Each structure stands twice: as structure tokens, then as C-alpha cells.
Amino acid sequence: MEALTFDKLEYLLPENGDGPLAVLEIDSVIMDPGPRTLRILQEAARFIPEMRTVIERIDAVDIGWNLKQVLERYPGLADETKGRINAFWEQRFFTDQYVLHDHPYPGAGDFLYWLQRRGVALVFLTGRDKANMSAGTLESFRRNGLPCGNETRFFFKPINSFPDRAFRQGVLETIGALGTVTVAVESDPGNANLIRSMFPGALVLLREWESWSDPEKPLPDIIRFNQYPIP
């Protein structure tokens, strides 16, 4: 796994083409959704007594979005209890209100502004859906001092149930017509591989995280990392 530094990124970043673009996932790339899940579980513990002893042992660090993996660490919870917790979580996790609890990863903001200073426009391609999560996403970016003005673009799913890979492929074709995809950052190996196949000249980075479970292997020229450089 590569230890990223801005000097190394400067060396690896392809020369700007016509309208250089960076394509970036949000969840587990820029924003840590762990605090969002933790907040929901803390609220669930008020209504589900069996959850109260568990919540004291859960840390937001790298919880990510995969609640199933979180609950599997606590075998004492009955399946019926897990089902109630999951239902409580699903009603809240994909909403504007709760997405405000996300925190950017250390150095993520510095990385975004570093790209902008090099003339690379930011394009956020996310599995979040427009109706339920776009307003909260933009507000969370503003609150955390991340770029989200006219110099950035966000592509949200039209609806949450839209097949993820088909959505991304269609949007990537649109993005490719906007300029030159110079760099992309993903948290999903399959999505990273898709970007690599569509934009072979781009620098593709893959952020690995503790609860990463995608079975697809990243292509060998995709650079894997887990921490952003800090200036």
C-alpha cells in the first residue's frame, strides 16, 4: 500500500489535458460515515434495551456504512434484535438529517484544495440519492469547509434503488464528455476498476478501510492508500 505524499501525487498526477477533472466518491473517500451510524445506534439504544450494553463498546472509527459487519462483532445479540436495529438504521441512514453527522477524513479537505490549486475541477460521483441526501450532503460540505461551490459538480442517484454500477457507468460517460478525467478516488475496488477501464490515462486511487469487504480485486496499476497526506 502506498504512503501518499503531496510530492508523490505531484509526480504521479498526469499532465492536465483539456478541462482536467477529478472524479471522487464521497462515502469512505472524503466523508467518514461512521459517526452517522454511531449516532443512529445511540438513538436505537434508547428504544432497544439489548443494544445498550453494546453501544458502550462501539467506536466510530472505521465503522463505515456496513451495519451488518458492526453487529457481527457482538454475537450475543439475537437475530430478532439485529433485525430491529437494522430497520431503525435504514430509516435514518440515507437521509439529509443524519448525513450531517459525517466527518471528513483527516487531510481530505487539503487534498481537494490541492487539486483545485492545480486547475483540476472536482466532480463528486456518489451512490447517495438526490431526493433524500443531496441537501444534507451539500450542507455537510459547507459546515466542514470542503469545496462545494460553483467550481464543483455533484452527481447523485435519481433514486436510492437505482442499480449502482449502471448508474456510475452512465454518469462516467457524461463526465468524460465534460473534460479530461485526470484523477479519480474510490473506496470500492469494482468502481475503481470501472474508472480505470473507461479512463486509462487517469491516476486512479483506492482508499482502503477496515470494513472493506468488496470481493473484486483492484487492477494492479490502481494505487491503494488509507491516509491522506497532511501538509
Asked if residue 143 and residue 213 are part of one domain, the reply reads yes
DSSP-derived 3-state class of residue 118: coil
Asked if residue 201 and residue 143 are part of one domain, the reply reads yes
137: domain CATH number is 3.40.50.1000
Domain count of the chain? 2
Supply the pLDDT for residue 61.
62
> Given 99, 114, 138, which residue is the final one in a domain?
99
Supply the pLDDT for residue 126.
97
Asked if residue 155 and residue 84 are part of one domain, the reply reads no
Asked if residue 190 and residue 92 are part of one domain, the reply reads no
Supply the pLDDT for residue 49.
87
Asked if residue 60 and residue 27 are part of one domain, the reply reads no
The cell for 73 is 462483532
Tell me the per-residue pLDDT of 31-65, one tens digit each, with 9 for 90 and over: 999 899 889 999 999 999 888 877 777 766 657 66
Q: In sequence order, which residues have a C-beta less than 8 Å from that of residue 66 and are 6 or more positions away?
A: 211, 213
> Given 48, 73, 99, which residue is the final one in a domain?
99
Asked if residue 207 and residue 127 are part of one domain, the reply reads yes
Asked if residue 145 and residue 92 are part of one domain, the reply reads no
With respect to residue 27, please indicate whether it lies within any of the assigned structural domains.
yes
Tell me the per-residue pLDDT of 165-222, one tens digit each, with 9 for 90 and over: 999 999 999 999 999 999 999 999 999 999 999 999 999 999 986 555 556 899 999 9
Distance CA 102, CA 104 (A): 7
With respect to residue 116, please indicate whether it lies within any of the assigned structural domains.
yes
- Report the percentage of the chain scoring pLDDT > 90: 68
With respect to residue 230, please indicate whether it lies within any of the assigned structural domains.
no
Supply the pLDDT for residue 74.
72
Between β-strands 180-186 and 203-207, what pairing exists: parallel, antiparallel or unpaired? parallel
Tell me the per-residue pLDDT of 14-25, one tens digit each, with 9 for 90 and over: 986 779 999 999
**Containing domain of residue 89, as a range?**
34-99
Chain position carrying cell 430478532: 80
Asked if residue 151 and residue 187 are part of one domain, the reply reads yes
Supply the pLDDT for residue 173.
97
Smallest CA-to-CA distance from 18 within 164, 179, 170 is with 179
With respect to residue 231, please indicate whether it lies within any of the assigned structural domains.
no
Angle ∠(192,61,122) on CA atoms, nearest 5? 40
What are residue 155's DSSP bridge partners? 125
Supply the pLDDT for residue 64.
60
Between β-strands 31-32 and 103-104, what pairing exists: parallel, antiparallel or unpaired? antiparallel
Supply the pLDDT for residue 216.
84
> Given 71, 99, 127, which residue is the final one in a domain?
99
| 79-93 and 34-44 helices, crossing angle to 10° | 120
